[in-house]
Amino acid sequence: MTKLNLSANLENPDDFYAALLAAHDGLTLEETNAFNARLILVLANHVGDQNILEQSIKIASQTG
C-alpha cells in the first residue's frame, strides 16, 4: 500500500500559494468553487493512485 506523503514537499511553497491566490483574484465564489474543483481533478489525474487519493480525502475531511 502506497502511503500519502505528508511531509513538506514543495520547492517554493510561498510562490505556489501566491500563484494560487492570484488565480482566484477577481473570481466570484461560484467561479472560485468551480476553479477549485477543476484544479482538484487535474491534480488527482496527475497523482493517479486511487489509494493516495482516498487517503487525501480522508485526511482533508478530518482537518479544518
Task: Identify whether 53 is part of a domain.
Answer: yes
CA distance 11 to 34: 27
Question: What is the pTM (predicted TM-score) of this model?
Answer: 0.87
Q: For the chain, how many structural domains are there in total?
A: 1
CA distance 32 to 51: 27
Domain hosting residue 50, numbered range: 27-64
Task: Identify whether 36 is part of a domain.
Answer: yes
In this prediction, residue 64 carries a pLDDT of: 65
Task: Identify whether 13 is part of a domain.
Answer: no
Q: What are the pLDDT digits (tens) for 23-58?
A: 999 999 999 999 999 999 999 999 999 999 999 999
Tell me if 6 sits within 8 A of 59, measured CB to CB: yes
Task: Identify whether 20 is part of a domain.
Answer: no
CA distance 17 to 31: 18
Task: Identify whether 17 is part of a domain.
Answer: no
